[in-house]
Amino acid sequence: MSVLLHGINILPEFQTYIQQLVHVLQKQGMRVLITRSLHHCMAKGRRRSSLPPVLASQQEIASLDFVLSIGGDGTLLDTISLIGANQTPILGINTGRMGFLATIAKEEIESAVEDLLVGKYSLENRSLVHLESSIPLFDGMNFGLNEFTIHKRDTSSMITVHTYIDGDYLNSYWADGLIVSTPTGSTGYSLSCGGPLISPVAKNFVITPVSPHNLNVRPIVVSDDSEISFKIEGRSEKFLVSLDSRSTPIDASVSLKVKKEKFSARLVKFHNYSFFDTLRQKLNWGYDMRN
């Protein structure tokens, strides 16, 4: 069994747990590889010869059994970009704060590896959003797990985003921007802009305006079989579009359309995990004394 470890900017106090993880995996006879970014973090103050080998090429990902994402939810989003259409199962180990996606705490590493080895887990398919544009964007990695966003640049005036569902006119959003969120992304940027929470296996997109000028404009939930297209207007010549944490400027001449990606992200889900338990814990539901 081959396993890849991926992490970005790992704090020194957490490196002991990574060493423990590598030891547990190798003790179980697994072939362990690490990404170049994680190698860079772990190599500080250590003999490079004591580290697992670095992933040689993108093609090698296809032969992996699992990828372990070490960090927060942002690292897991980066892991999905790294894997792409290979759909290698991902286990998120949480060194961050919220951990909606990276759910395994550092104290649970050894038991999580044991459950992985004996098959005490399931795989949860999370839908991705796919971007089609009239010019190449995001170096061909035109998909995201959380959301696609159109946003004004810096302190410029509001923009108008004319939005269409399967070619039918929906609305012209006069706002700071517009978010098209997957169910997974409903707990992220969309939530902070007033969007609804959606079960991660639902078959929907959420269209959420960012600071709309019209107060009666509300988020709307649509089928993820829909194709959502846009035309942008504004005083500024440039706008920002983003997929998860990756963003790039474009001008109004660029045509944009989003739909569900053909492949999905496969997240390892242990049998004692509950999305609703995570919601209550991370959002502090039930801390009111009346409960």
Contact 202, 184 (CB under 8 A): no
Q: State yes or no: 191 annotated in a binding site.
A: yes
Residue with structure tokens 């796919």? Answer: 130
Q: Which of 65, 73, 166, 244 is catalytic?
A: 73
Q: State yes or no: 45 annotated in a binding site.
A: no
Which amino acid does the sequence have at 35?
Answer: T
Q: Residue 223 forms beta bridges with which residues?
A: 204
- 73 part of the active site: yes
59 by DSSP, 3-state: which?
A: helix
Q: State yes or no: 73 annotated in a binding site.
A: yes
Q: Indicate the angle between helix axes 109-118 and 15-27, nearest 10 degrees.
A: 30
236-259 in b/e form (b: 16+ CB < 10 A) is: beebbbbbbebeeebeeeeebebb
Q: State yes or no: 253 annotated in a binding site.
A: no
Q: For residue 104, what is the DSSP state? A: B
CA dist., res. 77 & res. 289, Å (int): 36
Q: Give long-range contacts, CB 8 A cutoff, 24+ apart: 196-204.
A: 196/221, 197/279, 199/275, 200/124, 200/126, 200/275, 201/124, 201/125, 201/126, 203/127
Q: State yes or no: 277 annotated in a binding site.
A: no
What's the token pair of residue 193?
A: 């802009």
Q: State yes or no: 147 annotated in a binding site.
A: yes
Residue ranges for the known binding site for NAD(+) are 73-74, 146-147, 176, 187-192
Q: Which active-site residues does the annotation give?
A: 73
Annotated binding site: 73-74, 146-147, 176, 187-192
